[in-house]
Amino acid sequence: GAVVSQHPSWVICKSGTSVKIECRSLDFQATTMFWYRQFPKQSLMLMATSNEGSKATYEQGVEKDKFLINHASLTLSTLTVTSAHPEDSSFYICSARPGGDGPQHFGDGTRLSIL
C-alpha cells in the first residue's frame, strides 16, 4: 500500500520551455503533498507544501512564480517549472501524506535536464 507515482521519470528539454511533473497517490487520499528538490550527493530540500484545494506554501527562497504547484484533487498534485533554465536541472521528488499523522510516502522522482 501507500504508493506514490511520479511522472515523467526523466525529461530533457530546451531552455525557456515549461515542464509539468505529476504526482499521484495511487491507493490513498493525500490531504497534503510535498515537493522536494535534490542535487547530486545532497539531501532533499523542501520546496513547497500543498494542501488539496488551497494555495501551496513555499519555503523561503523558492520562487512561487517559477515553480507553480496545483493540488486540484486528493490524489493529484502537479509542479510546473516555468521558463526552465539549465540551473533548474535537478532531481524533483514529491511525497504524499494521508490525513492525520500518517508518514510521508515518496515518489520515484523526476530527473529534469535543461539544455
Q: Does 7 bind another protein (CB under 8 A)?
A: no
Question: Within 10 A of 19 (CB to CB), how many other CB atoms are there?
Answer: 19
Shortest Å distance, C-beta 62 to another protein:
13
Binding track, positions 16-45, relative to another protein; x by CB under 8 A: ----------------x-x------xxxx-
Is residue 6 packed enough to be buried (19+ CB in 10 Å), middle (13-18) or exposed (0-12)? buried
Q: Are 91 and 110 in contact (CB under 8 A)?
A: yes
Q: What is the dihedral of CA 56, 62, 66, 69, to 10 degrees?
A: -20
Residues in region 67-106 near another protein by CB under 8 A = 93, 95, 97, 101, 103-106
Residues that bind another protein (CB under 8 A): 4, 6, 32, 34, 41-44, 46, 49, 51, 57, 93, 95, 97, 101, 103-109, 111
